[in-house]
Amino acid sequence: MPKISIIIPVYNVQDYLAMCLDSVCYQSMKDIEIICVNDGSTDNSLAVLHAYKRRDKRIIIIDKENEGSGVARNTGLKIARGEYVYFVDGDDWLEQDVLLKASKKANETNADIVIFGGCSCYVKDNGKIKKNSGGYSADKLPKKYLNKVFSAEDIKKDIFKFPSTAWTKLYKHQFLVDNNILFQEIKVGQDQLPFFHSMITAEKIALLPENLYCYRKNRKGAVTAVKKKKNFSPIYVFYAVEDLLKKLDKIDDYQKVFVNRYFSKATSWLGKFQDDIKEEYFEEYMKLLEHVKQDYPFGWWIKFNPKISDGYWKLKFKQFAAKKL
């Protein structure tokens, strides 16, 4: 059984995949399996995977139809054999010692989750790399939890002070299995549900205050690079997290932080939505707003009255004003 299963969803990243795979294959931690899930790529990504598999027998390739990275990650989880699980995106790369350092911390603390930081990286045309601290940097980790082993109970009010990305965490495999923690099958924000699920159930969490992941920021065609929003992911995330909390009988513990976080996200998307389908999104958003007002009558949303014509900054102002009422 390998120490760590690395799961990499791959979709049309032929120009970046070699850099990603090199950073994984040449990790100082050698006892790994590398599960690459080709999610229906239409470029040469699959050929790149097979070329690397011929050189490194630790690579396992799953070739499937395109269903999104959430399904791809869940597919990889089904066959993972490692004591720990780590997720990498196919257009990013790792610092050389990330797996060794994270697994050492996990062994020392018996943590269900080890959380660390990642740099926001810009690769220039000449190949030079500029690294910025960014929103997932280790210096953003809440300092009061450094050098401690803490639990979900300890961080009820601070849960969103931790990065919600899958690639800033090493997970104990059995912890994921025991709690049936899976990725949501949506186009964007697939990691929000497993992030929240894991952070409200973990008995032991440890921090590693280093930037060990390199997140490529300037890739053309990346879903996160699209300025105009065109799917309903934040609304789907809200309902999925709500259903999870009800199922786990934890809705009273987390209703304030979860509603504020995920309803605010859905509101933000309203101001950025693609014009030709904005009416459809607005209709579903207003249903969500009415639901939130009825079931959670304690926040700024009670006094919030958006219009379909409101832009991003107008909605921000209305949200600010509602908080003051």
CB 163 within 8 A of CB 115: yes
Distances in Å between the alpha carbon of 288 and those of 174, 195, 241?
35, 22, 13
CB burial of residue 322 (10 Å; 0-12, 13-18, 19+): middle
DSSP codes of every residue in 269-297:
HHTTB-GGGHHHHHHHHHHHHHHHHHH-T
pTM: 0.92
38 pairs with which residues across the strands? 10, 63
Residue-level pLDDT, tens digit, the chain, 325 residues: 899 999 999 999 999 999 999 999 999 999 999 999 999 999 999 999 999 999 999 999 999 999 999 999 999 999 999 999 999 999 999 999 999 999 999 999 999 999 999 999 888 777 787 887 788 999 999 999 999 999 999 999 999 999 999 999 999 999 999 999 999 988 788 999 999 999 999 999 999 999 999 999 865 655 444 467 888 999 999 999 999 999 999 999 999 999 999 999 999 999 999 999 999 999 999 999 999 999 999 999 999 999 999 999 999 999 999 998 7
103: its two tokens: 């697994």
